[in-house]
Amino acid sequence: MSVKMRRTVMERESIKSFWKQSVPLMERTGSGEKLVLADLLEPVKTSSSLSLATVKKQLNRVKSKKTVELPLHKEEIERIHREVAFNKTSQVLSKWDPIVLKNRQAKQLVFPLEKEQSAFAPIEHVLSGWTARTPLEQEVFNLLHKNKQPVTDPLLTPMEKASLKAMSLEEAKMRRAELQRARALQSYYEARARREKKIKSKRYHKIVKKEKAKRALKAFEQLRKVNPAAALEELKKIEKARMMERMSLKHQNSGKWAKSKAIMAKYDLEARQAMQEQLAKNKELTQKLQVASESEEEERGAEETEELLVPDVVNEVQMNPDGPNPWMLRSCTRDIKEAEAHEDPEELPDPVAHEVSESEGDERPVAEEEILLKEVEERRSLRRRSELSQDAEPVGSQETKDSSSQEVLSELRALSQKFKKNHQSRKPKASSVSTGHQVQREEPALEEEEPLLLQRSKRVQTVEELEELEKEECSQNQEFLRPGLKGQQLERNPNNLPNAPKEKKKKEQMIDLQNLLSTKSPSVKSLAVPTTLEEMDDEEERDQKQMIKEAFAGDDVIRDFLKEKRESMEASKPKDVDLTLPGWGEWGGMGLKPSTKKRRRFLIKAPEGPPRKDKNLPNVIINEKRNIHAAAHQVQVLPYPFTHHSQFERTIQTPIGSTWNTQRAFQKLTTPKVVTKPGHIIKPIKPEDVGYRSSSRSDLSVMQRNPKRLSASHKKQLKKNSVD
């Protein structure tokens, strides 16, 4: 229909336009002029000048121009309006959703609504967020700034800070004095260094060098005692120096100076000496360091003799681990305490000896010193080893508990055998008479010692004995007992000694316990003493039991109880329902019973209830009946959000009464959900109350005021929106 209408409209339009064009013609006809064909074709002609296409275009344009649509039905318009309004309103109202939710979940609501009280904040925070606005405030701030008064954080002026930091006068004085002293010392030191640098004497420098070396040695010794790790580091440094030396040609007599000296050496003794020194130094530096380890000891055994011939500083620093014991040199009578302080004489370094020897050798020429040192060391080592070998054998034969000590001993034994050979081979070599004499002098002492040791090894079987023996030694044998030896002894059973008193104690305890066990038993009986009845012997007790049994023989309590229990169980069981009708579909009469088949068919079995609580408790009957009076007080309907009773039960587990809670907790638990101030009007909530702008509300009202004035196009757009 609409199509048809549209067509008619179009036709009308075209006619209109036609008439418009033909007006002049009509006028002309009206005036009585004759209508000529040319007149009729005139508009075509004129237009033809513009071309026919333009006409067509115009025609198309006319055609394409749509007609005005018919207005919608009133109901439809209203519906659309409603829809749009609803969407808009719901959108506006949805802003309130979080507030509503919050209020619903809030523990307490206070009416009339008030703005939230600002929480307590420290003054610094308040100040930091605050700016001066009024002129007065600004004035004040300006003043503050001028005086460098900090406005916010530390609240202290720089002056105040400085004064806080400043020290007292005394302190300042002390500090100044200190600084002065340090400066003075520095200047002295500098002056001295300058002076020393100017000294040209070679001899002086040599002495200085030597001193330095000695000091280094001492320091190293100290370090070794105090901090072995650091000492190792030092050793490594030395090792590195050796490597460098081996790489370089510094002391190889290949330098310019060395070559010149080599030429001079034929004629000049000094030059020769200098060269030798050079070489010696090279040798010294390239000397391989021996790290003392037990595994290497055996290998070293053979080489040792040669090694000992090189008494250079580096080697001394490194120290052979089984160096001679300095204490051995001293007189035999010695404080035991001192010996005890040095627990391991085997590995004890001998700084004192070295120092002594070196201090002696200070004035002598180097070569002499070397020889002397060599001799002394040889002697020491020899003596020590021989002693060890003699020492070790009896110890080895003895059975010692300590496995580690045994290992050490076996090693020592091996060593001693080697050294015996060495010793024998070396003996004739011993050059100086004095040394030989010394050795000879030593030997009888050792021989004296030997039987003593052997004896001891046999005797000392138990720890207690050992202790006793020690005491004896302390008192009697002090004269000839060497502290070193004693130290060894101590070392031989290092574990035993501290344990000894313990073991003894243990033994004593054992005995005590046994004593106690034998005497203790009546302690239980003692409680029965005060009772009126006398203590009963076992027989009497048995008699009494018998009597009790006899007394209660008549009433069998247990059987009665079991019977009662069975009855109660039967009573509490749900009963089956029998619906059989006797005589129905069967013969009836006296003495006839319905068949089992039938009975089975009409028997309704009761569902088996939950197992009884006292199922596994033979001596207990627990009543399964429900306490209906108490049940009346229990909750019977689950409140809204809960779907299972266990959930709800969990929320009512904690008591809220003041009997079970502290006053504070009680008040907190029983706060009312809504609090109102008496005499105050409770106004509806406003957007300002919760921090919203009021504009949203106004545009809603605007829309609702004139909903009908919306144009169709606007409406469509809205509809589109609403669909979206």
Partner 1 sequence: METAPKLGRDVPPKKDKLQAKRKKPRERKNPESQRSLSGAQDPFPGPAPVPVDVVQKFCRIDKSKKLPRCRSKTRNRLKVAETEEEETSVTAARSELLLAEEPGFLEGEDGEDTAKILQADIVEAVDIASAAKHFDLNLRQFGPYRVNYSRTGRHLAFGGRRGHVAALDWVTKKLMCEINVMEAVRDIRFLHSEALLAVAQNRWLYIYDNQGIELHCIRRCDRVTRLEFLPFHFLLATASETGFLTYLDVSVGKIVAALNARAGRLDVMTQNPYNAVIHLGHSNGTVSLWSPAVKEPLVKILCHRGGVRAVAVDSTGTYMATSGLDHQLKIFDLRGTYQPLRARTLPQGAGHLAFSQRGLLAAGMGDVVNIWAGHGKASLPSLEQPYLTHRLSGPVHGLQFCPFEDVLGLGHSGGITSMLVPGSAEPNFDGLESNPYRSRKQRQEWEVKALLEKVPAELICLDPRALAEVDVISLEQKKKERIERLGYDPEAKTPFQPKPKQKGRSSTASLVKRKRKVMDKEHRDKVRQSLEQQQQQQEQQQQQQHKQEKAKPMRARPSALDRFVR
Site string for partner 1, 659-678 (x = CB under 8 A): x-xx-xx--xx---------
Distance separating alpha carbons of residues 226 and 219, to the nearest angstrom: 10
Task: Put residue 644 in one of left, alpha, beta given phi > 0 → left and psi -120 to 50 → alpha.
Answer: beta
530, 554, 607, 678: which one binds partner 1 (CB under 8 A): 530
Contact 365, 428 (CB under 8 A): no
For residue 182, with 0-12 CB atoms within 10 Å meaning exposed, 13-18 middle and 19 or more buried, which class applies? Answer: exposed
Is residue 6 close enough to count as binding partner 1 by CB under 8 A?
no
98, 588, 655, 672: which one binds partner 1 (CB under 8 A): 655
596, 706, 711, 713: which one binds partner 1 (CB under 8 A): 596
Contact 284, 314 (CB under 8 A): yes
Nearest distance, CB of residue 669 and partner 1, angstroms: 7
Other Cβ atoms less than 10 A from the Cβ of 506: the count is 11
**Using CA of residue 404, residue 405, residue 406, residue 412, what is the dihedral sign?**
positive
Contacts 24+ apart (CB under 8 A), 625-631: 625/572
User: Hey, which residues between 452 and 511 contact partner 1 (CB under 8 A)?
Assistant: none
Nearest distance, CB of residue 555 and partner 1, angstroms: 7
Nearest distance, CB of residue 623 and partner 1, angstroms: 5
Is residue 592 close enough to count as binding partner 1 by CB under 8 A?
no
- Taking contact as CB under 8 A, which single stretch among the options 172-180, 329-337, 578-586, 657-665 is the one that binds partner 1? 657-665
Question: Residue 94 or residue 653: which is nearer to partner 1 going by CB?
Answer: 653
Distance separating alpha carbons of residues 660 and 379, to the nearest angstrom: 91
Nearest distance, CB of residue 647 and partner 1, angstroms: 6
Question: Residue 474 or residue 635: which is nearer to partner 1 going by CB?
Answer: 635
Question: Residue 142 or residue 658: which is nearer to partner 1 going by CB?
Answer: 658
- Collapsed DSSP state (helix, strand, coil) of residue 674: strand
Nearest distance, CB of residue 622 and partner 1, angstroms: 5
Question: Residue 123 or residue 169: which is nearer to partner 1 going by CB?
Answer: 123
Q: How far is CA 404 from CA 348, 392, 438, 456, 493, in A?
A: 19, 14, 34, 21, 10
Nearest distance, CB of residue 140 and partner 1, angstroms: 20
Nearest distance, CB of residue 659 and partner 1, angstroms: 7
- Taking contact as CB under 8 A, which single stretch among the options 44-52, 336-344, 396-404, 560-568 is the one that binds partner 1? 560-568
Nearest distance, CB of residue 162 and partner 1, angstroms: 16
Contacts 24+ apart (CB under 8 A), 513-517: none
111, 141, 561, 602: which one binds partner 1 (CB under 8 A): 561
User: What single-letter amino acid sits at 234?
Assistant: E
Distance separating alpha carbons of residues 724 and 718, to the nearest angstrom: 10
How far, rounded to the nearest angstrom, does the alpha carbon of residue 4 sit from its chain's CA centroid?
90
Question: Residue 206 or residue 601: which is nearer to partner 1 going by CB?
Answer: 601
User: Hey, which residues between 169 and 198 contact partner 1 (CB under 8 A)?
Assistant: none
User: What single-letter amino acid sits at 302?
Assistant: A
Question: Residue 85 or residue 127: which is nearer to partner 1 going by CB?
Answer: 127
Distance separating alpha carbons of residues 501 and 507, to the nearest angstrom: 10
Is residue 637 close enough to count as binding partner 1 by CB under 8 A?
yes
Nearest distance, CB of residue 155 and partner 1, angstroms: 7
Quick one: which of 638, 656, 657 has its CA closest to 648?
Answer: 638
Question: Residue 104 or residue 720: which is nearer to partner 1 going by CB?
Answer: 104
Site string for partner 1, 119-148 (x = CB under 8 A): ---xxx------------------------
H-assigned helices in 287-344: 294-308, 313-318, 326-329, 336-341
Question: Residue 65 or residue 633: which is nearer to partner 1 going by CB?
Answer: 633
Contact 339, 327 (CB under 8 A): yes
52, 558, 577, 675: which one binds partner 1 (CB under 8 A): 558
Nearest distance, CB of residue 646 and partner 1, angstroms: 6
Is residue 652 close enough to count as binding partner 1 by CB under 8 A?
yes
Task: Please give the structure tokens belonging to residue 4.
Answer: 């048809």
Is residue 654 close enough to count as binding partner 1 by CB under 8 A?
yes
Nearest distance, CB of residue 652 and partner 1, angstroms: 5
Is residue 646 close enough to count as binding partner 1 by CB under 8 A?
yes
For residue 425, with 0-12 CB atoms within 10 Å meaning exposed, 13-18 middle and 19 or more buried, which class applies? Answer: exposed
User: What single-letter amino acid sits at 342?
Assistant: H
Distance separating alpha carbons of residues 257 and 483, to the nearest angstrom: 55
- Collapsed DSSP state (helix, strand, coil) of residue 675: strand
The 3-state secondary structure of 473-516, one letter per residue: HHHCCCCCCCHHHHHHHHHHCCCHHHHHHHHHHHHHHHHHHHHH
User: Hey, which residues between 203 and 232 contact partner 1 (CB under 8 A)?
Assistant: none
Nearest distance, CB of residue 594 and partner 1, angstroms: 14
Question: Residue 428 or residue 554: which is nearer to partner 1 going by CB?
Answer: 554
Nearest distance, CB of residue 665 and partner 1, angstroms: 4
- DSSP-derived letter for residue 95 is G
- Residues contacting 225, CB < 8 A, separation 6+: 349
Distance separating alpha carbons of residues 181 and 179, to the nearest angstrom: 5
Going by their DSSP bridges, the two strands 674-676 and 109-111 should be labelled as: parallel
Other Cβ atoms less than 10 A from the Cβ of 222: the count is 12
Question: Residue 76 or residue 541: which is nearer to partner 1 going by CB?
Answer: 541
- Taking contact as CB under 8 A, which single stretch among the options 134-142, 187-195, 634-642, 676-684 is the one that binds partner 1? 634-642
Question: Residue 461 or residue 595: which is nearer to partner 1 going by CB?
Answer: 595
Nearest distance, CB of residue 649 and partner 1, angstroms: 6
- Taking contact as CB under 8 A, which single stretch among the options 213-221, 273-281, 416-424, 655-663 is the one that binds partner 1? 655-663
Other Cβ atoms less than 10 A from the Cβ of 429: the count is 8
Question: Residue 30 or residue 611: which is nearer to partner 1 going by CB?
Answer: 611
Please give the backbone phi and psi of residue 58, each rounded to the nearest 5 degrees, phi first.
Answer: -55, -45
Question: Residue 44 or residue 156: which is nearer to partner 1 going by CB?
Answer: 156
User: Hey, which residues between 155 and 174 contact partner 1 (CB under 8 A)?
Assistant: 155
Distance separating alpha carbons of residues 705 and 703, to the nearest angstrom: 5
Nearest distance, CB of residue 118 and partner 1, angstroms: 17
Question: Residue 31 or residue 643: which is nearer to partner 1 going by CB?
Answer: 643
116, 537, 538, 555: which one binds partner 1 (CB under 8 A): 555
Site string for partner 1, 602-631 (x = CB under 8 A): -----------x---x-xxxxx-xxxxxxx
**Most distant CA pair in the chain: distance in Å?**
183
Is residue 37 close enough to count as binding partner 1 by CB under 8 A?
no
* Vertex 472 angle, CA 467 and 475, to 5°: 130
